[in-house]
Chain A
Amino acid sequence: MLHTVNKSPFERNALDACLARAVKGSAILLYEDAVYAATKGASTAQRVGQAAKDHKVYVLGPDLLARGFNEGQVLDGITVVDYDGFVDLVAELGTVNAWL
């Protein structure tokens, strides 16, 4: 199963809702405003860094760049993917759970 989150962690609790209910080892993709959660220095870093140890966490590169962040500013353990990578994840994992 691929869990996706697209809301800022500062605005909504979708990310926490997802992290609380994704079984260990799940794939979690952060895109749109959720990419802020993948950045170093944000107050969410510790929580998300831990999640990156428990799960496979991905962040969508184009959404990151659009918001003024580069790959170097992404938390360790999080993989940056492009749109093709997003599609591959969906194809590979089949079921998508979009936390809105």
Chain B
Amino acid sequence: MPAYELNGKTYEHDEEGYLLDVNQWNEELAAILAKGENLPLTSEHWEVIGFLREYYNEYQIAPAVRVLTKAIAKKFGPDKGNNKYLYELFPYGPGKQACKIAGLPKPTGCI
């Protein structure tokens, strides 16, 4: 299995870079994952990442984009819960890219 390395510790990931064990994730690792995606993380990014972690803890799945967008709108309001805002933050998709940085599996149904 391929793996990320950080401070002498290894973090196994799949062939697309998604962490195999969600419980291994930490913020330092997220920063490295984001760097690999050429994505400097702002507080807006962290807000989404935190939301995804909470969603996963509650439901044990990575949400589909449509579901994530709706859930974010519910929690943070329509200014943030829309495709434009989320894709600006995560150009490769708030599903795929944000989930990867948040240490979640690839969203079910994402191709």
A–B in direct contact per CB < 8 Å: no
